[in-house]
Amino acid sequence: MKWLLIALACVQLSECMIRMPLIKGKSARDVLQEKGLLEDFLKKHPYDLCSKYRVPYCSQVLDTAEPMINYLDLSYYGAISIGNPPQSFTVIFDTGSSNLWVPSVYCTEQSCTTHHRFNPSASSTYYSNNQRVSIQYGTGAMVGILGYDTVRISNINIRNQEFGLSTSEPGGFFSYVKFDGILGMGYPSLAASGATTVFQNLMSQNLVDEPLFSVYLTRQDGASGSEIVFGGIDTNHYTGQIHWVPVTYEAYWQILIDRVTINGQVVACSGGCPAIVDTGTSLLVGPSTPINNIQQSIGATPTYYGQYNINCNNLNNMPDVVFTINGVDFPLPAQAYTLQQNFDNQQSCSSGFGVTGGSLWILGDVFIGEYYSIFDVGNNRVGLAKAV
């Protein structure tokens, strides 16, 4: 299941970090906007980041807080705008891809018409050379053209940002998601049609002080506070030491897992295996044989739909699944790798492990929710620390 993440931006001083909260499900902002109450709400409730965090010399601020709703620990998304005057969209900020794209008025499929669509003729600063772009995700796809316009993330204006305008979204997957588009945060080599990434422009236009961004995800149903910080690290969201892991291949944020153990026994990756840290994947997934070993070891039972159920009463007795990365153990307790949901006052639990179609392991939101993740572009490394 491929869902994608979201993010924010930072300004010019290391003391000042602009952050955008990540939304899970349909945000209160969306509800207010639908009812025509958003503008009045923002006037009455301004948000001064510099005052809240006692930041000196801060020249740009996030002047409104974005309320968040937790959607089953499956998807995180946030708001951006494109064009002049701005047209608003929600996007997943995805470290597993590198293109920014949104639906456009050129697309009349249901997957587009059920979302906000960009209208080039309504923006005075839009231009395009009509270059084609096509992107295939684990689930879902888009086909369209590339254009250029001003992209706003929080109060940061990114000039002449290249982005995709979908003319078709084959397969219909995007008809069912809450977000409008995707903002890729992988390496430039992964960008379809050679498009310039948003983070490349944030750096080249001096809109971030440090060439890195960091991700914090809440994992309790209904919890708020998820965010991505561009250009900085929020020390309030982790405890202990940051462990740095070198990137082994600059496309995805790819690293190497030394081994996976349960109760001291190796259950996967005995000789090491490649993995990517992917904010756009809900689960922690890997090849079928080792994942099935893990499911069996934790007592998960298969269902008809490829999902594995867990007895909610057994969580306190279930073992940690330990990922050893660059010589450091990163244990996942049962509370972290179990998806807990309530339907009609009945609790159900399922495994947060899943099977991928390839050889790469994907450390998705199940893992990132437990470990604050820092994506250091300047030093080609990923930082991991225990989230709080």
- Report how far residue 352's alpha carbon sits from residue 282's, in angstroms, rounded to the nearest whole number: 8
- Report how far residue 170's alpha carbon sits from residue 209's, in angstroms, rounded to the nearest whole number: 39
Tokens 């084959």 belong to residue: 170
Phi, psi of 180 (to 5 degrees): -85, -50
- Report how far residue 168's alpha carbon sits from residue 150's, in angstroms, rounded to the nearest whole number: 23
Active site residue 278: yes
Distances (CA, A) of 243 to 235, 311, 345, 379: 14, 33, 40, 14
- Report how far residue 354's alpha carbon sits from residue 351's, in angstroms, rounded to the nearest whole number: 8
Q: Residue 360 in 3-state DSSP? A: coil
- Report how far residue 258's alpha carbon sits from residue 325's, in angstroms, rounded to the nearest whole number: 5
Alpha helix segments (H runs only) across 205-349: 288-298, 334-337
CB atoms within 10 A of CB 314: 14
CB atoms within 10 A of CB 299: 16
Burial 115-137 (b: 16+ CB within 10 A, else e): bbbbebeebeebeeeeeebebeb
Q: Considering only CA atoms, which of 369, 68, 96 is closest in space to residue 215?
A: 369
Burial class of residue 239 (count of CB atoms within 10 Å of its CB; 0-12, 13-18, 19+) = exposed
Contact 260, 270 (CB under 8 A): no
Q: Considering only CA atoms, which of 159, 216, 230, 226 is closest in space to residue 14?
A: 230
| Active-site hit among 73, 258, 278, 376 | 278
- Report how far residue 47's alpha carbon sits from residue 64's, in angstroms, rounded to the nearest whole number: 4
| Active-site hit among 94, 180, 258, 376 | 94
Q: How many residues does the chain have?
A: 388
Amino acid at position 162, single letter:
E
Tokens 């982005």 belong to residue: 163
Q: Residue 4 in 3-state DSSP? A: coil
Residues tagged active-site: 94, 278
